């Protein structure tokens, strides 16, 4: 083989190697973004259940116009879901409910930014609105 052919083969191997590394990084970023999207969707669903609990009369097992029964433990979370863990992550009540407000947290299964902490999102739930925020990507 000529020197030019060897140079082309080495150059081709380098280009293919770079393409593979870029592809792996893109895949990992997409997996982390998908996990964060899943956590966000689950938190919005739990927030909807919290608002239903808020509106349900106490005689029917609801909050009767309060989030106070949604305590920051398993008993409080049981009002919203029987399975606080799924393929997207683990969910909890991070700030116990008051008469007008409760904060839910979701911790994902992927670490999108490589800092050693899985992606985390919180949602503030009020009687008529919610506010979702991403704590860690």
pLDDT in tens, 15-65: 999 999 999 888 878 888 899 999 999 999 999 999 999 999 999 999 999
Number of C-beta neighbours around residue 128 at 10 A: 7
Per-residue model confidence (pLDDT) at position 35? 93
pLDDT number for residue 112: 76
pLDDT greater at residue 129 or residue 115: 129
The pLDDT, as a whole number, for residue 88 is: 95
User: Where does the pLDDT of residue 137 fall: very low under 50, low under 70, confident under 90, or very high at 90 and above?
Assistant: confident
H or E element at residue 107: strand 102-108
Question: By three-state DSSP, how is residue 87 classified?
Answer: coil
Contact (CB, 8 A) for 88 and 108: yes
Pairwise pLDDT comparison (76 vs 1), residue with the higher score:
76
Whether the Cβ atoms of residue 50 and residue 81 lie closer than 8 Å to each other: no
pLDDT for the residue numbered 1: 67
Measure the CA–CA gap between 108 and 119, rounded to whole angstroms: 5
The pLDDT of residue 74 is 93
Task: Work out the number of other CB atoms within 10 angstroms of the CB of residue 129.
Answer: 9
pLDDT score for 59: 93
**Token pair of 15 as six digits:** 């280009």
């Amino acid at each position: 083989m000529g020197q030019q052919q060897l140079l082309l083969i080495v150059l081709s191997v380098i280009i293919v190697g770079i393409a593979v590394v870029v592809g792996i990084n893109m895949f990992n970023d997409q997996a982390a973004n998908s996990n964060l999207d899943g956590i966000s969707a689950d938190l919005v669903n739990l927030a909807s259940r919290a608002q239903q609990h808020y509106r349900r009369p106490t005689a029917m097992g609801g909050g009767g116009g309060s989030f106070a029964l949604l305590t920051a433990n398993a008993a409080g979370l049981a009002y919203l879901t029987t399975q606080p863990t799924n393929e997207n992550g683990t969910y909890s009540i991070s700030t116990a409910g008051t008469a007008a407000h409760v904060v839910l947290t979701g911790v994902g299964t992927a670490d999108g930014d490589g800092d050693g902490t899985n992606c985390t999102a919180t949602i503030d739930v009020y009687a008529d609105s919610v506010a979702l925020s991403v704590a860690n990507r």
